[in-house]
Amino acid sequence: MAGNSASVRGSFGSKFGVIAAAAGSAVGLGNIWKFPYITGVYGGAAFLFVYLGFIVAIGLPVMISEFTIGRKARKNAFGSFKKLAPKTPWYVTGFLGVGAAYLILSFYGVVAGWAMNYTVEALKGSFNGKTPDELTSFFTSFIASPFKPIFWQLSFMFLTGLIVIMGVQKGIERYSKLLMPLLVVILIILMFRSMTLPGASKGLAFLFKPDFSKLTWEGVLSALGHAFFSLSLGMGTLITYGSYINNKNNLGKTALQVTLADTVIAIFAGMVILPAVFAFNIEPGAGPGLVFITLPNVFLQMPGGYFFSILFFILLTVAALTSSISILEVVVAFLSEELKMSRRIATILAASSIALVGAFCSLSMGHLDYAIFLGKNFFDTVDFFSANIFLPFGGLFISLFMGWHLGRKKTLKELSNHGEIKIWYIKPLIFSLRFIAPIAIFIVSIYGIYENVVSYLASLN
Ligand code: TRP
């Protein structure tokens, strides 16, 4: 019976709960670890402006689509497509999404484990008295060691599973409501510290004064990929969350608020990290190690650095946790609805098998560092497949599904809560979903794959 299956599904209890959970999903390592460093790598403000353009033109429309698909179908990512497009191959999109969730979380958990370990190291004062070189080898030898990073990765996955097992409202929503305000408070304290450092204004100029001559095509393409990653789009996370949103919610408005929160928090994270980096004359283009190698350097030189380093790594861990629960929920919702498992069994099975794959990701940074695909080790292969293939193609199919399959009339009906709210933006929305998003995503992913193959072939010579 329809009523029966609806009653066992979870749901979010309040409007703030929806925002906290969805913004909690979006705000993560992508904002605090990745955004500042890729902005640094691609030259600062010009990259930021292109990123913002993609967020508005593509990210927001796709986010509205995911919420709409999920709420209309009231199913997990895979089941949603099966229900809205029966007897068609659209369900492959949902299936890809569940697979991507599995892969993303396996390496996400590893990086989040690093953040947990660094919280403890900050507490112990382990960065004290270390030279920049020593801090570099502190990081590289840690991530390559066999046990310690896996211990932290497993601890992080355990926490993630613990929250998800408690359910949509009592687990995910409750902890998002608790952790997201904490995250914002810590971020504001750190921002204040960073902006009052002498020399901070150079960092702000780097972030906000565009120099478009520095922008490369590669930068443009990374901006699009990062827009997807940062907003949690392309694999059904927000389809799954959308399926828990009640029928009165204004989905367009919710998507706008989540997008704003994610973007503002990324910019704030940039305002924490870049002024500090410039104030101490450190290279902003340091890459993925920016947060784990460069920042401890900065904290060492900064008054109150001990205290602020602890706060920073707590921030990173909390941000990762509210994202990882949303990724795990994609798999758990799939297993419990499609394979009729209890939430408990589904969570234990998903979390432990993802943790196992994650352990191999972690080992591939050290003991198992063999190239297995296009010269990449296991960690980089998993990262490459999920971020450069699954996510963009997922986003492409979601756009096409909404724009062409569901179409303007059905979309409008769901988005307007059956005519209760006026959707003035329906025209540009459908236009982006039909043309702008699919074409841009197609170009980006093909280019991304091409570039990787070319650089691999070049490395062979
Ligand atoms: N958006 C999160 C971050 O910025 C990560 C994340 C959560 C994600 N769910 C996702 C990324 C779904 C891609 C797809 O860290």
Q: What is the DSSP string of 252-321?
A: HHHHHHHHHHHHHHHHHHHHHHHHHHHHTT--TT-GGGGTTTHHHHHHHHSTTHHHHHHHHHHHHHHHHH
358-375: pLDDT as tens digits: 999 999 988 888 877 777
Give distance in angstroms: CA of 114 to centre of ligand 1: 17
d(CA 213, CA 190): 31
The token duo for 264 is 């503002």
Residue 444 CA to ligand 1 center (angstroms) comes to 19
Residue nearest to atom 8 of ligand 1 (CA): 232
Angle between helix 294-301 and 91-124 (nearest 10):
30
What is the C-alpha separation between 81 and 436, in angstroms, rounded?
Answer: 22
Q: Helix axis angle, 391-400 relative to 91-124, nearest 10°?
A: 140
pLDDT at res. 295: 87
pLDDT at 8: 65
User: Is 63 near ligand 1, meaning CB less than 6 Å away?
Assistant: no
Ligand 1 near 322 CB (within 6 A): no
Given a contact cutoff of 8 angstroms between Cβ atoms, the answer to whether 394 and 236 are in contact is: yes
**Ligand 1 center–CA 190 separation, angstroms:** 23
Residue identifier of the C-alpha nearest atom 14 of ligand 1: 232
How does residue 215 score in pLDDT terms, banded at 50, 70 and 90? confident
pLDDT tens for 280-294 read: 888 888 777 888 988
3-state class percentages of the chain: helix first, strand second, coil last, to nearest 5: 80, 0, 20
Q: Tell me, what's the pLDDT at 3?
A: 39
Residues 242-280: pLDDT tens digits? 999 999 999 999 999 999 999 999 999 999 999 988 888
Tell me, rounded to whole angstroms, the distance of Cα 98 from its chain centroid: 15
Taking only the tens place, the pLDDT of each residue in 4-35 is 444 468 999 999 999 999 999 999 999 999 99
Q: Is 324 close to ligand 1, i.e. is its CB under 6 Å away?
A: no
Mean per-residue pLDDT, 87-91: 96
pLDDT (average), residues 428-454: 89
Report the separation in Å between the CA atom of 158 and the middle of ligand 1, taken as the mean of its atom positions: 19
- Residue 5 pLDDT: 43
Q: How far apart are CA 99 and CA 330, in angstroms?
A: 10
| Residues 93, 406 contacting (CB under 8 angstroms) | no
What is the mean predicted confidence (pLDDT) over 108-131?
96
Ligand 1 pocket residue status of 31, Cβ below 6 Å: yes
Contact 71, 245 (CB under 8 A): yes
* Cα 240 to ligand 1 centroid, rounded to whole Å: 13
Dihedral of alpha carbons 31, 34, 36, 42, sign: negative
Do residues 187 and 315 make contact, with C-beta atoms less than 8 angstroms apart?
A: yes
The yes-or-no verdict on residue 220 having pLDDT over 60 is: yes
Averaged pLDDT for residues 430-448: 91
CA 403 to chain centre: 24
How many other C-beta atoms are found inside a 10 Å radius of the C-beta of residue 185?
Answer: 12
User: What's the mean pLDDT in 301-324?
Assistant: 95
Ligand 1 closest atom vs CA 237: 12
pLDDT tier at 240, thresholds 50, 70, 90: very high
| Contact yes or no for 113/152 (Cβ under 8 A) | yes
* pLDDT recorded at residue 252: 98
21 lines ligand 1 (CB under 6 A): no
Lookup: tokens for 9 = 């599904």
Largest CA distance in the chain: 66
Cα gap 79→46, rounded to integer Å: 40
For residues 80-94, give the mean pLDDT.
Answer: 97
Q: Which of 236, 163, 258, 267 is nearest to 386 (CA)?
A: 236
CA distance to 30, 203, 332, per residue, from 40 (Å): 14, 10, 36
Measure 336 CA to ligand 1 centroid, in angstroms. 22
- The pLDDT-based confidence of 338 (bands split at 50, 70, 90) is very high
Pick the residue whose CA is nearest to atom 9 on ligand 1: 232
Q: pTM for the complete prediction?
A: 0.94
109/315 Cα distance (integer angstroms): 15
254 within ligand 1 shell (Cβ under 6 A):
no
Q: Residue 282 has what pLDDT?
A: 81
Q: Residue of the nearest CA to atom 10 in ligand 1?
A: 232
Higher-confidence residue of 215 and 311: namely 311
159 versus 460: the higher-pLDDT residue is: 159
Name the residue with higher pLDDT: 227 or 286: 227
- Ligand 1 center to residue 326 CA distance, Å? 8
Between the alpha carbon of residue 107 and those of residues 14, 102, 154, 383, 384, the distances in Å are 32, 9, 12, 7, 11
Calculate the alpha carbon distances from 67 to 7, 335, 371, 392 in Å.
Answer: 20, 20, 39, 17
Instruction: State residue 290's pLDDT score.
Output: 85
- How many CB atoms are closer than 10 A to CB 94? 32
Q: Cα of 131 to ligand 1 centre, how many Å?
A: 34
Q: Which amino acid is at 163?
A: I
Q: Does the Cβ of 323 fall within 6 Å of ligand 1? A: yes
Residue 425 tokens read as 């933006």
Distance CA 428, CA 413 (A): 16
Please report the pLDDT score of residue 362 as a whole number. 94
Rounded to an integer, the average pLDDT of 182-204 is: 93
For ligand 1, the distance from its centroid to the CA atom of residue 304, given in whole angstroms, is 32
For residues 224-252, average pLDDT: 96
Residue 234 CA to ligand 1 centre (angstroms): 9
The pLDDT, as a whole number, for residue 31 is 95
pLDDT value of position 237: 98
Output the average pLDDT for the chain: 92
Residue given tokens 């310690």 in the structure block: 148
Least confident of 111-115, 126-130, 205-209, 292-296: 292-296
Q: Which of the listed residues 25, 107, 318 should we mutate to test ligand 1's pocket, taking the one with most ligand atoms within 8 A of CB? A: 25
- Mutate which of 232, 325, 326, 328 for ligand 1? The one with the most ligand atoms within 8 Å of its CB, which is 232
Residue 130 identity: K
Is residue 106 within 8 Å of 382, Cβ to Cβ? Answer: yes
- Burial code (b: 16+ CB inside 10 Å, e: under 16) for 368-394 equals beeeeeeebbbbbbbbbbbbbbbbbbb
Q: Which of 323, 328, 386, 388 to mutate to test the pocket of ligand 1 (most atoms within 8 A of CB)?
A: 323
Whether the Cβ atoms of residue 254 and residue 23 lie closer than 8 Å to each other:
no
pLDDT at residue 1, as a whole number: 36
